[in-house]
């Protein structure tokens, strides 16, 4: 069984809705297990024991949510150099009031430090979460799940 960990932070529910759509897409692939987890509850073991990662954050003041940054801060030094994290595939989804690029850039920069492998373009929702955004989130989940299940990442 392949496990996709979907980590997110959400105060208004928008990013959580996006996370649920990513999970729905991932679950549509056979032999996939998903774990949907708030960033504050996520541990190093969660990161290490998954086959693929999806990070979801609102954009606050042009940056990722503090809870996502806290996750990275809490796990970085223990994850550093571990073979279980090296080149692990990841995707990103952002709920933004502005352009979302500040949050995306900060997440991607940290993922380089973790030596994770970005495998698909991010989904950035600017404004309301509509069916088009949810469809793109489902696609994001399908892509990471199918790639992990096929062993191509």
Q: Please say if the pLDDT value at position 81 is more than 90.
A: no
pLDDT in tens, 13-23: 999 999 999 99
Q: Please say if the pLDDT value at position 98 is more than 90.
A: no
Tokens of 105: 């850039």
Predicted pLDDT at 105: 97
Strands (E) across 1-153 are located at 2-8, 32-38, 52-58, 89-96, 117-118, 123-126
The proportion of the chain whose per-residue pLDDT surpasses 90, expressed as a percent, equals: 95
**For the chain, which residues make up each domain, given as ranges?**
2-148
**Average pLDDT over every residue of 89-104:** 95
Contact assessment for residue 1 and residue 30, using Cβ atoms and an 8 Å cutoff: no
Predicted pLDDT at 44: 97
Mean pLDDT over all residues of the chain?
A: 96
Confidence label for 142 from pLDDT (cuts 50, 70 and 90): very high
Confidence label for 97 from pLDDT (cuts 50, 70 and 90): confident
pLDDT in tens, 29-67: 999 999 999 999 999 999 999 999 999 999 999 999 999
pLDDT in tens, 58-69: 999 999 999 999
Tokens of 136: 């793109």
Task: Compute the half-sphere exposure of residue 64: CA atoms within 13 Å on the CB side of its CA.
Answer: 25
Q: At what angle do helices 14-27 and 131-150 cross, to 10 degrees?
A: 40
C-alpha 102/C-alpha 94 separation (Å) is 10
CATH 3.40.50.360 fits 2-148, yes or no: yes
C-alpha 130/C-alpha 147 separation (Å) is 26
Max Cα-Cα span within the chain: 40
């Amino acid at each position: 069984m392949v496990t996709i960990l979907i980590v997110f932070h959400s105060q208004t529910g928008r990013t959580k809705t996006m996370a649920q759509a990513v999970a729905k897409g991932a679950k549509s692939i056979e032999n996939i297990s998903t774990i949907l987890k708030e960033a504050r509850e996520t541990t190093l073991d969660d990161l290490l024991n998954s086959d693929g990662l999806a990070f979801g954050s609102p954009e606050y003041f042009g940056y990722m949510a503090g809870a996502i940054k806290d996750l990275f801060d809490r796990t970085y030094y223990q994850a550093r150099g571990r073979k279980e994290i090296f080149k692990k595939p990841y995707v990103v989804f952002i709920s933004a009031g502005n352009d979302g690029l500040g949050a995306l850039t900060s997440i991607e920069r940290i993922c380089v430090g973790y030596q994770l492998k970005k495998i698909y373009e991010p989904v950035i929702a600017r404004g309301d979460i509509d069916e088009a955004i949810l469809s793109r989130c489902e696609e994001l989940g399908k892509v990471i799940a199918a790639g992990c299940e096929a062993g191509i990442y």
